[in-house]
């Protein structure tokens, strides 16, 4: 869908506490998360403006976003599993 917000909190609501924790406590996660959200915002802006960029460029941007999301999800899942195991 065009202009869909892919914020981590929307895509992984079950990991909300982990997102908040890692954003505050893990610099690597925080920086990657910022990159992800800026990229997501940029993509949504391009979509709202009628995609004033080539298809190849848009595809590259979306691929970057997907790759960042994968990295962030792995960190979130690892943290979540560690918290559960420690309980």
Mean pLDDT within 8-32: 97
Mean pLDDT within 55-76: 96
pLDDT value at 35 more than 90? yes
Place of tokens 């979509």: 47
With b meaning 16 or more CB within 10 Å and e meaning fewer, what string describes 35-65?
ebbebbeebeebeeeeeeeeeeeeeebeeeb
Place of tokens 């979130």: 76
pTM of the model: 0.89
pLDDT of 55 reads 87
Confidence band for 4, pLDDT divided at 50, 70 and 90: confident
């Amino acid at each position: 869908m065009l202009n869909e917000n892919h914020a981590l909190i929307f895509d992984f609501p079950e990991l909300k506490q982990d997102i908040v924790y890692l954003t505050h406590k893990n610099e690597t996660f925080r920086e990657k998360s910022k990159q992800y959200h800026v990229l997501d915002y940029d993509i949504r802006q391009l979509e709202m403006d009628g995609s004033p960029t080539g298809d190849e460029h848009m595809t590259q941007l979306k691929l970057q976003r997907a790759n960042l999301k994968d990295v962030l999800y792995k960190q979130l899942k690892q943290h979540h599993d560690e918290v559960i195991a420690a309980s």
